[in-house]
Amino acid sequence: MSEASASGLEVARLSTRDPDFEARLDALLAWEGVSDDAVQRRVAEILDAVKTRGDAALIDYSNRFDRLAASSMAELTLGAERLRQAFEGLPEAQREALATAADRVRRYHEHQKPESWSYTEADGTVLGQQVTPVDRAGIYVPGGKAAYPSSVLMNALPAHVAGVGEIVMVVPTPDGVLNDLVLAAAHLAGVDHVFTIGGAQAVAALAYGTETVPRVDKIVGPGNIYVATAKRAVFGQVGIDMIAGPSEILVVSDGGTDPDWLAMDLFSQAEHDEDAQSILVTWDDAHLEAVADAMARALPTMEREAIIRTSLAERGALIHCRDRDEAVALLNRIAPEHLELSVADPEAWLPEVRHAGAVFMGRYTAEALGDYCAGPNHVLPTSGTARFSSPLGVYDFQKRSSLIQCSAQGASGLGPVASTLARGESLTAHARSAEYRIRD
Ligand SMILES: NC(=O)c1ccc[n+]([C@@H]2O[C@H](COP(=O)([O-])OP(=O)(O)OC[C@H]3O[C@@H](n4cnc5c(N)ncnc54)[C@H](O)[C@@H]3O)[C@@H](O)[C@H]2O)c1
Ligand SMILES: N[C@H](CO)Cc1c[nH]c[nH+]1
Ligand SMILES: [Zn+2]
């Protein structure tokens, strides 16, 4: 009996040779696998209640889901002084780690800053694009099953680099427990308002506004399935960054990395949430068994054993494929939030990687480094949305306006073109508007 089965490690074993492989993989990856009808119904009900009853509903849901006993929004609001106290009271090592992470994240995002641009045509017409920040951004910092000071930095620092005027942070505090590292990070990152609310009710408050919580222009940040489902539902009323739901890791291994390292990499995302997803893909059968055995050995030593066990049993997989080409096809199909290329020559793989939120290249690049301090953002698209979404960045806090300034000569040149096309559309006012400006 292998150690994996001896320890009761429950995780799906799939092989691309299995006749039912496609169906099993589809089921494993389905969005509905986590955001089922019950979640959708509950989120819809919460959004509606906050929209119609404002603060009162916000207080009710916070009391219910975060086990609080609040009777007013004042009890769910933190002022700048409380954030500063938290920062100043931090142990030296934590304050330094936070500052180092903040510096690295800020520096990375400075590289993303898009500039406005314009060019002038020969007739004097100027065309361009003006980049402007959103006025007010809402940042969601998760807090149900773990506290996420790193998510404060990842959300707020790019907003600052983008020039956002006002940052409103929401973070749940289950059982009323405040996490000083989270508050200190909010101080360090220059957050303007903090409300201790979470889940779909916090997303609703940011989207619609309440008597106390200001309505924002865009909501960003990661969260559990209630948060991700709510963000999806309010999109249109308010901007959102992406679907950044339960964490995911796909490790592709060529068999040359220490199985203990890979077991812990898989656990690192599984420990976030029962809905998180950790998948290993390899064409080396013996290596797959070695990783399974390493997982079985390490599992009983984990503080969050129960969450990891459930996540692996419900959503995890160890996939054996035929060869490197099949591994590439699989990784692009899965389009994971985090892709660890635990292979000898990750640069050679890169041109073939089309869909992944972030790519961790080589045996030494633990995904966990990216979670905290490498520099790139850890708010990343999940559930296959890396096919069309990107990491949270400065660009998420900005919009672009087109600029058109015609010279008199330019208006005469473009007028006939516009007029001809407008008359082809039977839009006479358009045509005449252009024609008025044509000079003989
Ligand atoms: N994709 C990313 O970029 C990224 C980054 C960091 C974290 N994450 C993910 O964020 C999530 C954080 O989850 P969390 O739970 O710790 O914190 P959270 O803040 O996302 O969710 C907690 C809130 O969920 C709501 N909730 C919980 N159970 C509910 C229920 N039965 N009905 C209605 N509402 C309910 C409550 O309002 C609670 O305040 C994890 O899934 C983690 O993997 C993702
Ligand atoms: N892995 C998470 C993104 O899915 C980010 C994070 C924060 N802290 C630890 N991990
Ligand atoms: Zn993580």
ipTM of the modeled complex = 0.98
The C-alpha angle with vertex 102 and arms to 186 and 269, in degrees rounded to 5, equals 85
Residue 130 annotated as binding? no
- 141 alpha carbon – ligand 1 mean position (Å): 9
pLDDT band at 230 (very low <50, low <70, confident <90, very high): very high
Phi, psi of 89 (to 5 degrees): -85, 0
Q: Over the stretch 264-310, which tens digit does the pLDDT of each residue have?
A: 999 999 999 999 999 999 999 999 999 999 999 999 999 999 999 99
Q: What tokens appear for 403 in the block?
A: 């600029």
Q: Which of 182, 247, 360, 392 to mutate to test the pocket of ligand 2 (most atoms within 8 A of CB)?
A: 247
Ligand 1 in reach of 142 Cβ (< 6 A)? yes
Q: Which of 141, 148, 369, 377 to mutate to test the pocket of ligand 2 (most atoms within 8 A of CB)?
A: 148
337 included as an active-site residue: yes
Q: What tokens appear for 172 in the block?
A: 């749940």
Mean pLDDT computed over 30-45? 87
Query: In this prediction, what percent of the chain has a pLDDT beyond 90?
Result: 96
Mean pLDDT over all residues of the chain?
A: 96
One-character DSSP codes across 241-291 = -----S-EEEEEE-S-S-HHHHHHHHHHHHTT-TT-EEEEEES-HHHHHHH
Q: Over the stretch 313-356, which tens digit does the pLDDT of each residue have?
A: 999 999 999 999 999 999 999 999 999 999 999 999 999 999 99
Query: In this prediction, what percent of the chain has a pLDDT beyond 70?
Result: 98
pLDDT (0 to 100) of residue 35:
73
Residue 40 annotated as binding? no
Specify which residues 114 forms β-bridges with: none
Mean pLDDT computed over 142-155? 97
- What is the pTM for the complete model shown? 0.95
Q: How far apart are CA 358 and CA 335, in angstroms?
A: 10
- 22 alpha carbon – ligand 1 mean position (Å): 29
Which ligand is nearest the CA of 265, by number? 3
Q: Which of ligand 1's atoms lies nearest the C-alpha of 140? A: 19
Q: Over the stretch 163-178, which tens digit does the pLDDT of each residue have?
A: 999 999 999 999 999 9
Q: How far apart are CA 195 and CA 172, in angstroms?
A: 8
Q: What tokens appear for 188 in the block?
A: 């360090």
Handedness of CA 297, 301, 302, 305 (dihedral sign): positive
- 368 alpha carbon – ligand 2 mean position (Å): 7
pLDDT band at 21 (very low <50, low <70, confident <90, very high): very high
The structure tokens 């700048």 sit at: 80
pLDDT (0 to 100) of residue 5:
57
Contact (Cβ atoms closer than 8 angstroms) between residue 228 and residue 382:
yes
pLDDT band at 6 (very low <50, low <70, confident <90, very high): low
Contact (Cβ atoms closer than 8 angstroms) between residue 395 and residue 242:
no
Range of lowest pLDDT (32-36, 150-154, 251-255, 274-278): 32-36
3 included as an active-site residue: no
Q: How far apart are CA 46 and CA 40, in angstroms?
A: 10
pLDDT (0 to 100) of residue 8:
80
SS3 176: helix
Q: What tokens appear for 154 in the block?
A: 């990842």
Q: Which of 109, 193, 338, 355 is catalytic?
A: 338
Write the secondary structure of 321-366 as one string of H (helix), E (strand) and C (coil). Answer: CCCHHHHHHHHHHHCCCEEEEECCCHHHHHHHCCCCCEEEECCCCC
Q: Over the stretch 243-260, which tens digit does the pLDDT of each residue have?
A: 999 999 999 999 999 999
Residue 371 annotated as binding? yes
Q: Which of 248, 271, 274, 337 is catalytic?
A: 337
pLDDT (0 to 100) of residue 36:
85
